[in-house]
Amino acid sequence: MMIVNEDKCIGCKKCIYDCPTSTIIYNERKKAYIENERCINCGHCIAICPTAAVYSDSLDMSEVEPYNEEKFSVNPENLLNFIKFRRSTRHFQDKPLEKETIERILQAGRYTESSTNSQDVSYIVVSEELDKVSDQIYRVLKKKGEHILANLSPETEHLKKYATLWTTMYDAYLDDKAKNDRLFFHAPAVVFVTAGQEINGALASATIELMANACGVGCCYCGFALVALNDQPELLKELGVQEGKKIIACLVMGYPSVKYQRTVPRNPLSVLWK
Ligand X SMILES: Cc1cc2nc3c(=O)[nH]c(=O)nc-3n(C[C@H](O)[C@H](O)[C@H](O)COP(=O)(O)O)c2cc1C
**Candidates 50-58, 158-166, 193-201, 217-225; binding stretch for ligand X (CB under 6 A):** 217-225
If the CB atoms of residues 34 and 188 are measured against ligand X, the closer one turns out to be 188
Q: Per rule CB under 6 A, is residue 217 in the interface with ligand X?
A: no
Instruction: Work out whether 88 is an interface residue with ligand X (CB under 6 A).
Output: yes
Among 9, 191, 220, 248, binds ligand X (CB under 6 A): 220
Q: What's 241's DSSP letter?
A: P
Which residue's CB is nearer to ligand X, number 71 or number 259?
Answer: 259
The single-letter code of the amino acid at 19 is: C
What pairs with residue 192 in β-bridges?
A: 124, 250
Within a 10 A sphere around the Cβ of 237, how many other Cβ atoms?
Answer: 11
Q: Which is nearer to ligand X, 8 or 86 (CB)?
A: 86
Q: Check binding of 224 to ligand X (CB under 6 A).
A: yes
Stretch that binds ligand X, among 137-145, 189-197, 222-230, 239-247 (CB under 6 A): 222-230
Radius of gyration of the chain (CA): 23
Please report how close the Cβ of residue 272 comes to ligand X at its closest, in angstroms.
Answer: 23
Name residues whose C-beta falls within 8 Å of residue 239's C-beta, 6 or more positions apart in sequence.
124, 126, 133, 192, 229
List the one residue from 97, 222, 229, 241 that touches ligand X (CB under 6 A).
222
Q: Does 199 bind ligand X (CB under 6 A)?
A: no
Residue 33 binding ligand X, by CB under 6 A: no
| CA angle in degrees (0–180, nearest 5) for 253-70-72 | 50
Contact window for ligand X (CB under 6 A) among 43-51, 72-80, 86-94, 116-124: 86-94
3-state helix, strand, coil in the chain (%, to 5): 40, 15, 45
Q: Among residues 49 and 249, whose Cβ is nearest to ligand X?
A: 249
Among 50, 96, 223, 233, binds ligand X (CB under 6 A): 223
Query: Least CB distance from residue 90 to ligand X, whole Å?
Result: 6
Contact 3, 24 (CB under 8 A): no
CA distances (Å), origin 233, targets 143, 216, 263: 16, 35, 40
Segment lying near ligand X (by CB under 6 A), choices 83-91, 95-103, 132-140, 155-163: 83-91
Q: Is 110 left (phi over 0), alpha (psi -120 to 50) or beta?
A: alpha
Least distance to ligand X, CB of residue 164, Å: 15
**What residues contact 81, with CB distance under 8 A and at least 6 apart?**
263
Task: Report the alpha-carbon distance of residue 198 to residue 123 in Å, rounded.
Answer: 14
The least distance separating ligand X from the CB of residue 220, rounded to whole angstroms, comes to: 5
For binding to ligand X (CB under 6 A), which residues are involved?
Answer: 87-88, 90, 220-224
